[in-house]
Structure 1
Amino acid sequence: MSDNQPQQYPGYQPQDPYGPPYGHQQAPQQAPQPYDHAAHQQYDPSVQQPYGYGPADPYGTPPPAGTAPLPTQHHQAGVASQEPGARQHPQPVTRSDAPPAPASTAHLAPNQRARAEGRSPIIAPGMQPAVLTAVLAVLLALTAPLARPALFVPVAVLQAVTAAGWFRLNGMWPARQGIALAFLAGLTTDVALLATDRADAPLVGIGTLGVWCLLVLVLQLRNRSSADERMYALTAGLASSALAVLAAGHLAAAPHAVTVGAAAVAVATLARALPLPSVASVAVALLAGAGAGIGAGQLTGYGASGALLGLAAGGCALIGLRVASYDYPSRFVHMTAGVALPLALAAPAVYVLGRTLG
């Protein structure tokens, strides 16, 4: 051994801080050296290396979670193209030619099922409300020839159902104050009509509506809701009060006209509830109302002119049924507005044509 050469020990390998000279090939290592944690922890992942590569780890040990730098986009594309087994993110595959799966409509509401099937979502009240309308119309027809206080009872029931149904038809519930105020407008009109002559009915109705418009405005001034809700409540209160006052027209009309009109409304409403096509159902209902008017006119002295009164009353009843038809069917709406609106809207026609034809 020369004196200029360092002493060799087993397992010792000299390290050159400047690396091997040019052209010199370093001998492969015989055994892996232990992992130097201190040297690895000195690596700062926040410092990005050129081309997205970090310092090479000769031992292949993965760095701790959260410390390894992410490769750049170019490096990812290169690795993905060079390694056929590399893991790639799955891309969503859309198949435009796949037929849509049929959705079941059994659990949907009637209006939603109608929209899904391409039909009209407007649901008519149906036969049960029509039967109740016919019953109330028969009560009006039977009590009309009697004293006016006897007719007051079915008219008051009609006004109460009208007030409650109109608020619920407009989606406002609970609205106890508005319903009570509208019903009170109808009762006030009834009392005023009983105390005055039948010829003064227009003045009584206009005066009651004028006073109730002020009352509805005062009621809404106390409302602390939003501006939109107050406007909805105001319009619903005014409309409900007006309908309750109009329903009192049966008290002001001639008794025989009330009988003919009520009979026409009852028959037309039942005919409209029959399972017929829309156009045919309307035509059948109008013809049935006119026929009921002729039949009731023969009993009351109106004769053939009762057909005109029956046709007009039947047409008003169909308008009331259409208004009560709703795209979000509610049993309460159908059992209130669907029952009362045909008779309430027919009251002005009964009053005007009764005075004209009588």
Structure 2
Amino acid sequence: MPTATATANPAATPAATATAEPPAPQPDRPLTAAEKARAEGRPQILPPGFVPAALTSVIAALLAATAPLGRPAVAVVVAVLQAVTAAGWFRLNGMWPARQGIALAYAGGLAADVGLLATERAHAPTVVIGTIGVWLLLVLVLQLRSHASPDERLYGLTAAVASTALTVLAAGHLAAAAESSDAVVVGAAAVAVAVLVRALPLPTAAAVVVALAAATGAGTGAGQLTGTGTSTAALLGFAAGACALIGHRVASYDYPSRFVHMTAGVALPLAAAAPVVYVIGRALG
């Protein structure tokens, strides 16, 4: 009897094995946070939280505080903003580390700052546009020397061009300080309030409306403190707040990456508002 049982068991084992389902294939690598969120049905686009908004407000407060002191003081704060902008844009596009691209974009921002400090305020548009043009050529040369595949080079080129342009345009706050320090104060106050309100736990549509209203109110209040006209200050506050919300939304396009939120989420609202601050500040000046 024991012998018969031992003989039957081996015959049953292959049959059971044949009818059993094959084991699930194991992934070659662990799932990323975005892939886990997609598999679980959770949102993959999350806006920066309150901490990045608070840091944006700190930089905005520094801009407002240094604006009456002159362009050299503003240039220091702008240089910090440009460093965070250059690093944040590359990380936002999933390119990290990208030391050469970040260094080149940041160098373009610093070159624009130096050019603005060394020239008359009337030449600010020429300095900014000229810097962007020269640095785009440098970016193109850098990408042509790359040994990556054509698709990777094209992707790197677009990221480097956008990062360089944004970093240089952030110098608009420095150019605006030469035209009207009051405009820098009003714009910085509007951006700070807009991002703080946007960070509140409200529905998206309501948060945007409330943030725009708060930015307009902050601009009006800052305009009263600086002696700027109420209507002009309200317009600048609304425009700067709208640009800040656009930059905030762009920085939200990444499933929660702390580095993205602490760089792009901090810098893009202020960087996006710089051209508007300069244009309206020039009208005030």
Structure 2, gaps ≥5 residues long: 1-10, 22-29
Q: Does 1:167 align with 2:90?
A: yes
Judging changes above 3 Å, is the alpha-carbon distance between structure 1 residues 177 and 276 closer, same or farther for their aligned structure 2 residues?
Answer: same
Task: Report the equivalent of 1:284.
Answer: 210
Alpha-carbon distance, 1:236 to partner: 1.1
Question: What are the superposed Cα offsets for residues 133-159 of structure 1, whole Å, 9 maximum, x if unpaired?
Answer: 000000000001112101110000000
CA contact (8 A) 2:92 2:254 kept: no
Task: Report the equivalent of 2:130.
Answer: 207
Task: Report the equivalent of 1:44.
Answer: none
Q: 1:301 is matched with which residue: 206, 227, 230?
A: 227
Q: Does 1:336 align with 2:263?
A: yes
Q: 2:187 is matched with which residue: 257, 261, 269?
A: 261
Task: Report the equivalent of 1:311.
Answer: 238
Greater RCO (CA < 8 Å, at least 6 residues apart)? 2
Alpha-carbon distance, 1:237 to partner: 1.1
Q: Which amino acid aligns with 1:333?
A: V
Alpha-carbon distance, 1:302 to partner: 1.4
Query: Secondary structure at the residue paired with 2:46?
Result: coil
Q: CA RMSD in A?
A: 2.1
Query: Secondary structure at the residue paired with 1:144?
Result: helix
CA contact (8 A) 2:44 2:256 kept: no
Q: Which amino acid aligns with 1:235?
A: T
Query: TM-score, normalised to structure 1's length?
Result: 0.69
Query: Secondary structure at the residue paired with 1:145?
Result: helix
Runs of 4+ in structure 1 over 6 Å off: 90-94, 107-110
Judging changes above 3 Å, is the alpha-carbon distance between structure 1 residues 311 and 248 closer, same or farther for their aligned structure 2 residues?
Answer: same
Q: Which amino acid aligns with 1:307?
A: A
How many pairs were matched up?
261
Judging changes above 3 Å, is the alpha-carbon distance between structure 1 residues 111 and 251 closer, same or farther for their aligned structure 2 residues?
Answer: same
- Which structure has the bigger radius of gyration? 1
**Counterparts in 2 of 1:215-294, with a 5 A limit?**
215-253=138-176, 254-294=180-220
Alpha-carbon distance, 1:303 to partner: 3.1
CA contact (8 A) 1:111 1:123 kept: no
Query: Secondary structure at the residue paired with 2:202?
Result: coil
Question: What are the superposed Cα offsets for residues 104-128 of structure 1, whole Å, 9 maximum, x if unpaired?
Answer: xxx9876556545645321111101
Alpha-carbon distance, 1:256 to partner: 0.7
Q: CA–CA distance in 2 between the matches of 1:228 and 1:111?
A: 23
Q: Which amino acid aligns with 1:187?
A: L
Q: CA–CA distance in 2 between the matches of 1:115 and 1:278?
A: 21
Task: Report the equivalent of 2:118.
Answer: 195
Q: Which amino acid aligns with 1:225?
A: A
**Counterparts in 2 of 1:113-132, with a 5 A limit?**
114-116=37-39, 118-132=41-55
Question: What are the superposed Cα offsets for residues 215-272 of structure 1, whole Å, 9 maximum, x if unpaired?
Answer: 1111112211111111111111111110111000011112110100000000000000
Task: Report the equivalent of 2:26.
Answer: none
Task: Report the equivalent of 1:62.
Answer: none
Alpha-carbon distance, 1:89 to partner: 5.6
Judging changes above 3 Å, is the alpha-carbon distance between structure 1 residues 284 and 114 closer, same or farther for their aligned structure 2 residues?
Answer: farther
Judging changes above 3 Å, is the alpha-carbon distance between structure 1 residues 182 and 131 closer, same or farther for their aligned structure 2 residues?
Answer: same
Query: Secondary structure at the residue paired with 2:216?
Result: helix
Q: Which amino acid aligns with 2:283?
A: T
Identity %: 71
Q: Does 1:323 align with 2:250?
A: yes
Query: TM-score, normalised to structure 2's length?
Result: 0.86
CA contact (8 A) 1:155 1:250 kept: yes
Judging changes above 3 Å, is the alpha-carbon distance between structure 1 residues 92 and 275 closer, same or farther for their aligned structure 2 residues?
Answer: farther
Q: 2:107 is matched with which residue: 184, 197, 214?
A: 184
